[in-house]
Structure 1
Amino acid sequence: MLTKYEVGKIVNTHGIKGELKVFPSTDFIEERFAPGMSLVIEHQKQEIEVTVKSTRSVKNFLLVLFEGLEDINLVEKYKSDLLYVAKENMQELEEGAYYYHEIIGLEVIDLDKDEVLGKVTEIFPTGANDVWTIEKPGRKDVLIPFLNQIVKKIDLEQNKAWVEVPEGLIDEN
């Protein structure tokens, strides 16, 4: 089995020419789904390597066509399957940049109060910046924008991130 990271879910087919409607769940969407990019469809516990032929955005979805699968009859079986990128197909990031899978699961610590806020469970790209969802045990989830003035330090080896939370950002109720 490959070491791989989820990049999207196939939610439906589109048209008769083999396009698949994909809900992306990744960072770097343009690079992940660029023509020529190699991805993996996990179908019935099998890994099927595919190459992106074309991609176009429609609302919150992507319409993706894979080389050699240009017919609805060839792709219908992949509805509800997950798409992955193999670890060896991921590019190196510049310093201070992180993949979503590196951030999800980090313990987040409020620097001012020196207390654990919770763990990052999801990341939402908003265009301007990403927003982390931090699950607080027994309390409402916290949304923290991934901005330098808020996220002060990330240590992947310790599996922790330290933040300075602006007043009013967290509902204490």
Structure 2
Amino acid sequence: MTKLLQSEDKIIVGKVGATRGLDGTLRIIPLTDFEGRFDGLEKIFVGGKLFDVEAVKHISEQLFIKFAGVDSREDARALTNKFLTVDRKDAAPLDDGEFYTFDIIGCEVFGGDKRLGTVTNVLKTGSNDVFEVDGNILIPALKSVVRSIDIAAKKILVDEHAY
């Protein structure tokens, strides 16, 4: 599984895929649970450079974006495989008890007084997420297992008998 690094002020929300057509339109691979965030999008960073968005289209369950100033297939190819980022302040709002994956990664995990390690990845299993701790401990992200998450302190407390 690819591990994506975030900066403190930018959030990765997608990756540029292949070109589509001759006008510079690009297929976008969403890397967010909030795919609707692309609808009505006016600006976004692509590979660290800010672009105006001319059009967003959904075709056959795929997402395509046309950026201003990217007017040919050659222009578009220069952007393939680059990440799309937004300012952290523009992140989709979360409900209480919800957290961004990139905020969980890097948190220290404790079971009682014992430090278990650091979250290195969050696995999406369908029924619930699973925190991968130092590559050798898997902790299900369930209320019955995870006692508290303090993003500011980068600390997660888990039931010491549940892992």
Q: What is the TM-score when the length of structure 2 is the normalising length?
A: 0.73
Change beyond 3 A, Cα 1:125–1:39: farther
* 2:3 alignment counterpart: none
Change beyond 3 A, Cα 1:29–1:64: farther
Which structure 2 residues correspond to residues 76-155 of structure 1 after superposition, within 5 A?
76-111=77-112, 114-135=113-134, 140-155=135-150
Deviates more, 1:88-97 or 1:153-162: 88-97
Mapped partners of 1:166, 1:39: distance in 2: 45
**Unmatched runs of 5 consecutive residues or more in structure 2:** 1-7
Aligned residues: 151
Change beyond 3 A, Cα 1:122–1:9: farther
Which residue of the other structure, out of 15, 30, 44, is the alignment partner of 2:20?
A: 15
**Unmatched runs of 5 consecutive residues or more in structure 1:** none
Displacement after TM superposition at 1:162 (Å): 0.8
Residue 9 (structure 2) pairs with residue 3 (structure 1): yes
CA-to-aligned-CA distance 1:81-121 (integer Å, 9 cap, x gap): 1111212312332221111222111001123xx31111112
1:49 aligned partner, one-letter code: F
Change beyond 3 A, Cα 1:127–1:50: farther
Change beyond 3 A, Cα 1:50–1:127: farther
1:98 aligned partner, one-letter code: F
Q: What is the TM-score when the length of structure 1 is the normalising length?
A: 0.70
% identical equivalent positions: 26
- SS of the equivalent of 1:78 reads coil
Displacement after TM superposition at 1:70 (Å): 7.1
* 2:65 alignment counterpart: 65
Would the aligned equivalents of 2:14 and 2:28 in 1 still touch at CA under 8 Å? no
